[in-house]
Amino acid sequence: MNPQIEKLLEVQNLDYEIYELKREKAKKPDIIDFLKKNIDDAKSQLQQAKENLKQLELERKRKEVELESKENEIKKYETQLYQVKTNKEYSSLEHEIEGVKADNSILEEEIINLLDKIDEIASVVKEKNEAVNNAEKEFNNRKKEIDLDTKEIEQRINKLEANRKEIAKDIDKGLFKKYERILKNKNGMAMAKVVDGTCGGCYINLPPQVENEIRLGKIVICQNCSRILYMEDT
Ligand SMILES: [Zn+2]
């Protein structure tokens, strides 16, 4: 193998590792965003449950005030019972009292139903509160983990890049520039192995003289995908 191509292959191996590490690193902010969104979702559900609870409490209060005023009404009628002069007035008042009492028993039932609902929603609030705490806890734990991972990836990349620089010193500058240009456009893979007359980068059949040229140590570029071609020594 052309010694320049051999060196370039060493760089390529490092570059592909660097490329993969950078991709992995780029995913980390997405994970953090996802975890943040979980917190926001849990918080908005908690807010909603709290709002429901508040509305139910207001309704309960309103009905209790109404019940109290109706009970006062009954008391007022009952005092009047002692003051009426005729049977007709008496029975009409009694009728009035019965009506208010019937209203009240409906009100009382509604209040009991509301109390049940309030209990239910109060436990939902508690649940949602726990969900917020859990989401925050998970975020904090995972964030630490992710920050650590990211730091490790960065250190690994730095090491590989230093290594790469060292090897690149022995490569012809023009060839290396060409290689880097291709690398940028080819997802971390600027070189392609020729296998059975086919380019390992784009799988096109190469003209027959390509293999001969490579054997003679020439630098050959795939006419289809522009990668630098190489062959394993047999
Ligand atoms: Zn190709």
- For the residues 86-99, what does the mean pLDDT come to? 94
39-91 pLDDT tens trace: 999 999 999 999 999 999 999 999 999 999 999 999 999 999 999 999 999 99
Quote the ligand 1 centre to 178 CA distance (angstroms).
15
Residue 30 structure tokens: 């997405």
Per-residue confidence band for 197, with pLDDT thresholds at 50, 70 and 90: very high
Quote the ligand 1 centre to 221 CA distance (angstroms).
8
Quote the ligand 1 centre to 190 CA distance (angstroms).
10
**Would you list the DSSP string of 67-99?**
HHHHHHHHHHHHHHHTT--SHHHHHHHHHHHHH
Q: What is the model's pLDDT at position 233? A: 81
- For the residues 137-164, what does the mean pLDDT come to? 97
Domains along the chain with CATH numbers: 18-170 (1.10.287.1490), 172-234 (no CATH)
Quote the ligand 1 centre to 230 CA distance (angstroms).
11
Quote the ligand 1 centre to 113 CA distance (angstroms).
74
Give the predicted TM-score (pTM) of the model: 0.74
Quote the ligand 1 centre to 222 CA distance (angstroms).
5
What b/e readout covers 7-44, taking b as 16+ CB neighbours within 10 angstroms? bbbbbbebbbbbbebeeebeeeeeeeeebeebbeebbe
28-39 pLDDT tens trace: 999 999 999 999
As a whole number, the mean pLDDT across the chain is 96
Quote the ligand 1 centre to 21 CA distance (angstroms).
24
